[in-house]
Amino acid sequence: MKVVIVGGVAGGASAAARIRRLDEKAEIVVFERTNYVSYANCGLPYYIGEVITDKEELTLQTPESFWMRFRIHIKVRHEVEKINVEKKTVTVKNLETGEQFEESYDKLILSPGAKAVMPKGAEGKERVFQLRTVEDTYRIYDFVKEKQPKNVVIVGGGFVGIELAENLHELGIQVTIAQRPDHLLSPIDYDMASFVHAKMRKKGIPVLLKKSVEEVRQSEDKVQIQFQDGVLETDMAIMAIGVTPDSTLAKEAGLALGQKGSILVNDRMETSEKDIYAVGDAIEVTHYITGKKAVISLAGPANKQGRIVADNVCGGDSRFKGSQGSFVIKIFDLTVAATGINETMAKQAEIDYDKVYLSPMSHAGYYPGGTVMTLKVLFEKNTYKLLGAQIVGNEGVDKRIDVLATAMHAGLTGLQLKDLDLAYAPPYSSAKDPVNMAGFMIENIATGKVKQYFWDDRKELEEKENAIFLDTRTYGEVKRGMAEGYRHIPVDELRDRIEELEKGKPVYVMCQSGLRSYIACRILQQYGYECYNFAGGYRLYSSVTAEKEAAVKAMPCGLEIEV
């Protein structure tokens, strides 16, 4: 059997190694367009920021090492230009020599990845960059060393944009992020992103939202980025708007395509054409939570697909169970992570959902070093099926998202989170872990012990004439800031002062995190009040509110802008 693989990173490289382990006699040829194979894709921004200092760390595997261990032929700087489906060959161009040749296959695996979306005028400019390959990385690294740019505009605030922002900021370059969406990191919701916006602002990185790039120009040693409402001028620009499946090859060969031009595959990674498989960022997958088709560019699923396709190419029957979009990202000292779907996606999928917010400590409060995280869990109304979770914090965020991802994968409901027997010691957790706490809260909703209201209900509620808005924090806390229109009674005084609250009016209660206001709600409810607990507390309220104000004021410091 002869297997040809197009693309030698992530899925392609995984597939090649696994095929050899399964079949010592297969002939395996990998064509990789760039000069590097199986490189540390997700490490590239950290090489630019000199967090990873050794070039070889990025490119640990070489064509030679693959040959030594696996007897796999890796041809770098070789671009597959055409699939000749009938003949079962590919037409390949050696990018070094320009030579063209045909290579036959019994099985063909496409792992071409995705390509960066480039706005008009962005291609081919000396001071305009993208970051997909090792070559892109060195180009940025060398430019920064040689030209010492004072400032950079990163267009796009997704994973790559944010990681580059951090790394370039740490090198002392003034960074600005500009993007079309109304919040950074689109896989999380606006409210959770407000913590990310705050971190950027604190680091002196302006975040310009709702800016869509119309054109990129370069004049001498400046780049001009033309937005719909003005121009930003900068020493260098990086295009990190997003990626699109690199499916030209598949399309021209007549393979069936899915959404966004992705390659259509079944759960065995088979394309519409016999003996042609595809994996990684170029394909369409089934979303594990919604069951709907999606394009998800992440390294974890790509590597799993590589292993699955190897099994199937070698006569096995492995199935990809779908992707639930789990991710984690470091943003300075913040960790942000999510799994499953967010509110936007739930609405698109027309799922009737509810949600809880909580602000637990990463570990026992009495043991030094703990930090507060904000955890948001989405679940389906009535069934309580877990739909998604988002966490912003520092320590222990990655742990809780993986626990929630596992619970979701296993089909647990939100109610079952309370029963999880998680490992506790003061340096690591609390006797009631944040994930258990989320379960307790969901159960309290399910059993009618508490009703909630949300930051984006505020406006609607303010119009209710009869409502009482009540803040139950301490005197010290409300002195430092309080939401507009709220009265103040500390929870510990509530029983004695309950007469101050007019009977018959609904009470909307808030505290710092939502715990004391929950206790207040329990008291009020039993005294006959209709009451609602503010989800996320003043902590979330002030972050979302402050962010709205700050976003309007944000200016790209040190850059010229005409509006």
List binders of a copy of itself among 406-445 (CB under 8 A): 406-407, 409-412, 416, 418-429, 431-433, 436, 440
Q: Which of 176, 271, 323, 543 binds a copy of itself (CB under 8 A)?
A: 323
Q: Which residues contact 450 (CB under 8 A, 6 or more apart)?
A: 441, 444, 518, 521, 522, 525, 533
Binding to a copy of itself (CB under 8 A) within 64-93 occurs at 68-69, 71
Q: Does 354 bind a copy of itself (CB under 8 A)?
A: no
Span from 81-89, 141-149, 400-408, 454-462 in contact with a copy of itself (CB under 8 A):
400-408
- 42 is annotated as an active-site residue: yes
Q: Closest by alpha carbon to 285, among 298, 274, 273?
A: 298
Site for a copy of itself in 226-265 (CB under 8 A): none
**Going along 220-291, which residue ranges are E strands?**
222-227, 230-234, 236-239, 243-245, 276-278, 285-286
- In the complex with a copy of itself, the residue whose CB is nearer, 410 or 552, is 410
Candidate residues 242, 258, 300, 506; the one interacting with a copy of itself per rule CB under 8 A: 300
Question: CA angle 334-338-344, nearest 5°?
Answer: 115
Q: Record the tokens describing residue 444, joined without a space.
A: 């309290």
Name which of 335 and 342 has its Cβ closer to a copy of itself: 335
- Residue number, 26 or 178, with CB nearest to a copy of itself: 26
Single out the residue of 73, 115, 180, 321 in contact with a copy of itself (rule: CB under 8 A).
321
Q: Which is nearer to a copy of itself, 302 or 375 (CB)?
A: 302
Q: Which part of the chain contacts a copy of itself (CB under 8 A), choosing from 188-196, 243-251, 298-306, 459-467?
A: 298-306
186-225: contacts with a copy of itself (CB under 8 A):
none
Q: Work out whether 451 is an interface residue with a copy of itself (CB under 8 A).
A: no
Looking only at residues 364 through 383 of this chain, which bind a copy of itself when binding is defined by CB under 8 A? 364-368
**Does 405 sit near a copy of itself (CB under 8 A)?**
yes
Residue with tokens 């400019």: 125
* Active-site choice (42, 314, 521, 531): 42
Torsion angles phi and psi, residue 83, rounded to 5: -105, 125
By CB under 8 A, residue 184 contacts a copy of itself: no
Of 141-149, 272-280, 296-304, 538-546, the window that binds a copy of itself (rule: CB under 8 A) is 296-304
**DSSP run (H or E) holding 435:** helix 434-446
Contacting range for a copy of itself; rule: CB under 8 A; set: 86-94, 148-156, 478-486, 487-495: 487-495
Three-state SS for 27-85 is EEEEEECCCCCCCCHHHHHHHHCCCCCCHHHHCCCCHHHHHHHHCCEEEECEEEEEEEC
**What is d(CA 521, CA 474) in angstroms, rounded to the nearest whole number?**
16
Cβ density class 48-79: b for 16+ within 10 Å, e for less: bbeebeeeeebbebbbeebeeebebbbbbebb
Q: Is 43 in the site for a copy of itself (CB under 8 A)?
A: yes
The structure tokens listed for 156 are 């796009």
Residue 329 interacts with a copy of itself (CB under 8 A): yes or no: yes
Q: Rg of the chain's alpha carbons, rounded to an integer?
A: 26
Residues in CB range of 348: below 8 A, 6 or more apart: none
Stretch that binds a copy of itself, among 76-84, 269-277, 302-310, 478-486 (CB under 8 A): 302-310
CB of 397 vs a copy of itself, minimal distance in Å: 9
When asked if residue 55 is in the footprint of a copy of itself (CB under 8 A), the reply is no
Dihedral sign (CA 460, 465, 466, 467): positive
Q: How far is the CB of 13 from a copy of itself (least distance, A)?
A: 11
Least Cβ distance, residue 299 to a copy of itself (angstroms): 4
Residues 90-119 that bind a copy of itself (CB under 8 A): none
Choosing from 149, 301, 360, 370, the residue that interacts with a copy of itself (CB under 8 A) is 301
CB of 272 vs a copy of itself, minimal distance in Å:
25
Give the tokens for residue 110: 């496409």
CA distance 291 to 297: 17
